[in-house]
Chains A and B, each alone.
Chain A
């Protein structure tokens, strides 16, 4: 697992327009810059927002990656819930689900 680098990639995508442009132009070239395992690469490529959430990607990073990938707010919330259903509880970090009901 290299959760740190998954998050670092998303951090760079969020803050650096050139990295984002590169990612849109040649995603694989950008992904090679980070030490990522197969599960992480697959989740980023798909994108599988639910799996990235379960892996423990900080919500303040994932929220923007989801938006960058075209997720509307409610789709994004639902993708995280689907991730829990499919892959189980959040594995790391602070953004674990409690009762999952929320209000939105």
Chain B
């Protein structure tokens, strides 16, 4: 069939784990936009959800770090973190190994990727799923872009990867949804936790929803580290979604800095051939 839905959202562990410490008004508005995204995702009637995440040493470590990896399991488990800490119950999440295999084979025509038949989901995937597929009844294909352990993949390769994902989705008969998750500017797990560069975030989101490729690819890692923190390296997940929807624009449904969540909280969707 083709790609039937695309969007991006935040995944910070505080979104669920420290929910009780946030201002309820802004938190609940943020949650309502996850709900809106869930409704839009369900309306697109996907057979599977590809979730492009930036994991945090749950499955991949510096002894063998892939730039890109795609899950190829029949099911997965998460969260890997203490469920009490993340406030998300540990559960099995269905996969689709056969569809994964076809996606991996197609992506490999353009970009070399690792594959993983085992994958423990961390907050980078579980927080979005907690809101978007709370019944865990939609098969998920996890994707990781290394944004933690340098050297990191260049932005233009993240773009190529997103383009390859799009071609792969368009080549399978299933209806596929795509969600990228990551922070924009943030300095999580440092004494600067809660620091957010709202101006930088809004400029980035403007480039993202208008899908201005050249501007999205113009960030250097040095600039991103300076202006958006080490968490800003996760823009690679957003770029892959922009690439997968190249030629289309989108809409930011929610953006607000929520310091106790340690990130500028975001929900945005991209048109996929004229539809959300």
The interface of chain A, by Cβ under 8 A from chain B, is: 4, 7-8, 11, 14-15, 58-64, 67-68, 73, 77, 80-81, 84, 94-104
Binding stretch for chain A, among B56-64, B157-165, B240-248: B56-64
Q: Is the CB of B85 within 8 A of A67?
A: yes
Interface status of B256 (Cβ within 8 A of chain A): no
CA distance A42 to B186 in the complex (A): 31
Q: A58-B57, A60-B57, A96-B190 in contact; A104/B262 too (CB < 8 A)? A: yes
Across the interface, A58 reaches (CB within 8 A) one of B148, B195, B260, namely B148
User: How would residues 201 to 234 of chain B score, 1 for a CB under 8 Å from any chain A CB and 0 otherwise?
Assistant: 0000000000000000000000001000110010
Interface status of B251 (Cβ within 8 A of chain A): no
Q: Is the CB of A102 within 8 A of B58?
A: no
Q: Is the CB of A7 within 8 A of B230?
A: no
Q: A14-B57, A60-B56, A61-B57 in contact; A103/B189 too (CB < 8 A)? A: no
Interchain nearest-CB distance for A10 vs B (Å): 8
Q: A8-B63, A73-B18 in contact; A59/B189 too (CB < 8 A)? A: yes
CA distance A15 to B230 in the complex (A): 23
Q: Is the CB of A100 within 8 A of B80?
A: no
Q: Is the CB of A98 within 8 A of B192?
A: yes
Q: Taking CB as reference atom, which chain B residue is nearest A10? A: B57
Which residues of chain A are within 8 angstroms of B230 by Cβ–Cβ distance?
Answer: 59, 94-95
For the A-B complex with A15-B57, A60-B189, A104-B194 known, give 13 more contacts whose Cβ atoms are closer than 8 Å. Answer: A7-B62, A15-B80, A15-B120, A60-B56, A60-B188, A64-B85, A67-B82, A77-B193, A94-B230, A97-B192, A98-B190, A102-B191, A103-B260
Across the interface, A104 reaches (CB within 8 A) one of B80, B225, B229, B259, namely B259
Which residues of chain B are within 8 angstroms of A4 by Cβ–Cβ distance?
Answer: 62
Q: Taking CB as reference atom, which chain B residue is nearest A97? A: B191
Q: Taking CB as reference atom, which chain A residue is nearest B196? A: A103
30 cross-chain CB contacts under 8 A: A7-B62, A8-B63, A14-B81, A15-B58, A15-B120, A58-B149, A58-B189, A59-B189, A59-B190, A60-B189, A64-B81, A67-B82, A67-B85, A68-B82, A94-B148, A94-B225, A94-B230, A94-B233, A95-B230, A98-B190, A98-B229, A99-B192, A99-B195, A100-B191, A100-B192, A102-B191, A102-B194, A102-B259, A103-B194, A104-B262
Q: A14-B80, A60-B56, A64-B81 in contact; A102/B62 too (CB < 8 A)? A: no
Across the interface, A103 reaches (CB within 8 A) one of B56, B58, B148, B259, namely B259
The 3 closest A-B pairs by CB, nearest first: A59-B189, A103-B194, A103-B259
The interface of chain B, by Cβ under 8 A from chain A, is: 18, 21, 56-59, 61-63, 80-82, 85, 120, 148-150, 187-196, 225, 229-230, 233, 259-260, 262
Which residues of chain A are within 8 angstroms of B148 by Cβ–Cβ distance?
Answer: 58, 60, 94
Interface of B, secondary structure class, is loop
CA distance A15 to B79 in the complex (A): 10
Q: Taking CB as reference atom, which chain B residue is nearest A74? A: B21
Which residues of chain A are within 8 angstroms of B262 by Cβ–Cβ distance?
Answer: 104
Q: Is the CB of B188 within 8 A of A59?
A: yes
Which residues of chain B are within 8 angstroms of A63 by Cβ–Cβ distance?
Answer: 188-189
Interchain nearest-CB distance for B193 vs A (Å): 5
Interchain nearest-CB distance for A50 vs B (Å): 10
Q: Taking CB as reference atom, which chain A residue is nearest B54? A: A60
Q: A61-B57, A94-B150 in contact; A102/B195 too (CB < 8 A)? A: yes
CA distance A84 to B187 in the complex (A): 16
